[in-house]
Chains A and B, each alone.
Chain A
């Protein structure tokens, strides 16, 4: 779930994503005609919420969730674009034509912090910049 905001209104969208190896960045794609694209052009601050409810449909205490906060910026054609597009398509091969479409924008999120939730309310925070 990608969380964006604009006009003092938060907004949420389900997106496919890929992460860098060092977990300091992520990427997603969106059509340029979407609400979230417009919001992102106004405010770069985003959150990405990822969970594994599908693995534990009957036991909420086993569900894990991560909220990654950060800043999203659109990637322009070039080596970095190709790198991230490649990562995204490797993870989601069925989205190849979507990612490659001229009207699709590719965004990179520079992640500021992770909040990792387990056992319903246990939360740990990790800031990638501080090492590790």
Chain B
């Protein structure tokens, strides 16, 4: 350590220390302490200690491998989260080097009277007027014991590589490999009240105003949004109270302000003095009053740009806390999902054929509006709740420290999802065909006779099946399946409109040997099932935290189930829009107002409804369908892929022929044992997955739908493969390695080299 800086610097010695070694938070605290302000006792673990940890643990290479699978700018948020989870577990698996940990423990012992610690991030460049990492790096409070402090330090170090921190750095065009992390360790102060104060209005509009917020308890309650604060706006120079708002305190009958005039004056004077000391108007966290008034943090105010919005708030939403998740769980499971399901069922039950044009137009508008509403709810409620399973993943890994960062997925097995009920119905029908050769042969012949009129063709198929002894029963159950499970949208098509395609899938399932059985997860120990993993978690957290662990499990499992269900149910709703639109479009075509080949998707809803209401009857102009654009692929003539890399989304190894599924047209062509290749598996088409020997997807993520169902069924899956659908051709032989995330194309032959 040629710099002369050690692994640890006491805060009282940090005022002259280069911020590169102790980070912004520690540097400001040291300056405040040096200037005579009361700050909690403590020390800083320097960035040199972090670098030593990386070096001894060989973690820099781990980070490079995780972030090097594809360019960071092309990674989806889910893929970055997946990499961040692996990095976090790698950090927790490596002990802090002995020389560093001994130094830290010696520093803790010097403050031996401290009962509990706050362990907080202090990254160089963390906060400025233009950017703030507040809330994006982790902190731990109430940490008791040396071991727990060392653990907390590793968690804080790892948070430099969290999804939110990486995304924010990407947005700021900062090179994450140049990031470093120092850690501030201070005694927990048990004072109240606590709060924050801004030397200027952070909205930037009223620069002569000061804002103070206070809560009865700890500052963390305010910062985490758990308690609604009292709020004052003061005139900066005079201290006049311009506004006061009482915080929402349901259990507190009094409405008296938490702070008195003296407290506000102390804060105002502190803000002025700190601004003079540090050279910029500060954003401070504080606790206590009078002679116990203590500063916890001071940083530059990050002005919110009203036009561009604060994207940091979106990154913070990626990690909803337990409270938010619990409240979402209740709302999503008890209210929203039943409402969504009910609305879909109501729409499906309406006999639209009997409506006149105006009635049909109203039905289309009602459905279109419903879909827009639910798509927004999906973004605002369902997606945040889907983080429940990620919360469980982090919780499990922090407690258990498993070898496999995705071992926690085993806790989620056996959830009764809508899609698994559908798959079970398909398996039952396939079993009927397997047991009845005559029925199977008839179905095989019937579905392979083409007919230019799909509706007429299906009637012919029905007639042939009905003619057989058990045909009526089979047909009834099949049509129950279509109505109950397959009336969903896939893209801008309805699966229920393609009964022959679904029947082909049932036939494939019947003909494939042992496709429908559940296989154990490859790579997971034979004795590992959900109960065993659950017990492993409980053993790791101990009896004191069993209730907390149970809550995390409950929410994680519910989140896992509902994130699949909500997609299927929205797909059902979309199918009802399409059903109404098909009817409306057919009427307009019959009237010569719409081109026969015009594709009518959900976006055309308002235009079709207007046309039906428009008695003048002119030609109908539909909006262009939006296409999702992916980066275009440039291939040199003669170039072919040999190995494609992606995420190892579900373990296993399988070889098979490629079959790409791009649209509903392709669904019925998928054969058992083929490798399913697609852009993104939707829950509405996961009924194909039990037939597949492996899955390859362009869209990446360890916890997306294709990965979920592949792991359930023990099928290898590699996703996050750029341009998978363009690079892999139907019929090509591929080997999918779900352990390593590699898709090998073609056999390993030297066929060309042997030619003379």
Contact = CB atoms under 8 A, between A and B. Distances in A.
B639 A132 contact: yes
Contacts of B643: 117, 121-123
Contacts of B742: 121
Interface in A22-77: 45, 58-62, 69-71
B641 A128 contact: no
Contacts of B76: none
Given A70-B753, A71-B753, A112-B753, A125 B68 contact: no
A15 B226 CA distance: 67
B476 interface: no
Interface string B633-667: 00011111111110000000000000000000000
Among B60, B70, B638, max chain A CB count under 10 A is at B638
A71 B68 CA distance: 34
Interface string B49-66: 000000000001100110
Interface in B644-694: 644-645
A19 interface: no
B38 interface: no
Contacts of A117: 643
Contact of A127 (B70, B638, B645): B638
Contacts of A120: 65, 68, 645
Contacts of B644: 122
Contact of B637 (A45, A59, A125, A131): A131
Nearest to A128: B638
Interface string A96-114: 0000000000000000110
A117 B642 CA distance: 9
A121 B647 CA distance: 12
A124 B752 contact: no
B680 to A, nearest CB: 21
B69 to A, nearest CB: 7
B641 to A, nearest CB: 6
A60 B64 contact: yes
Interface string B728-756: 00000000000011100000001011101
Interface residues of B, number: 26
Contact of B68 (A58, A119, A127): A119
Contact of A126 (B60, B638, B750): B638
A89 interface: no
A115 B641 CA distance: 9
A129 B639 CA distance: 11
A62 B752 CA distance: 29
Nearest to A56: B64
Contact of A124 (B637, B641, B740, B756): B641
B640 A69 contact: no
A125 B732 CA distance: 15
Contacts of B752: 69, 112-113, 127
Nearest to B746: A125
A62 B65 CA distance: 10
A35 B650 CA distance: 46
B636 A132 contact: yes
A130 interface: yes
Given A71-B753, A127-B752, A62 B68 contact: yes
Contacts of B640: 124-127
A115 B639 CA distance: 10
Contacts of B750: 45, 69
A119 B69 contact: yes
A122 B720 CA distance: 13
Contacts of A119: 68-70, 645
A123 B642 contact: yes
A122 B645 contact: yes
A59 B64 contact: yes
A59 B752 CA distance: 33
B640 to A, nearest CB: 5
A132 B68 contact: no
Contacts of A127: 638, 640, 752
A125 B727 CA distance: 12
B638 A132 contact: yes
Nearest to B60: A58
Contacts of A126: 636, 638-640
A125 B645 contact: no
Contacts of A62: 68
A107 B52 CA distance: 49
A125 B644 CA distance: 11
Interface centre among B60, B637, B639 (most CB of A within 10 A): B639
A-B interface, 7 closest residue pairs, ranked by CB to CB distance from nearest: A61-B68, A132-B637, A123-B643, A130-B638, A123-B642, A132-B638, A125-B642
Given A45-B750, A60-B65, A124-B642, 20 more contacts: A59-B68, A60-B64, A61-B64, A61-B65, A62-B68, A70-B753, A71-B753, A71-B756, A112-B752, A115-B642, A117-B643, A119-B68, A121-B643, A121-B740, A123-B641, A125-B639, A127-B638, A129-B638, A130-B637, A132-B637
Interface of B: 60-61, 64-65, 67-70, 636-645, 740-742, 750, 752-754, 756
7 contacts: A58-B60, A59-B64, A61-B65, A119-B69, A124-B642, A127-B640, A132-B637
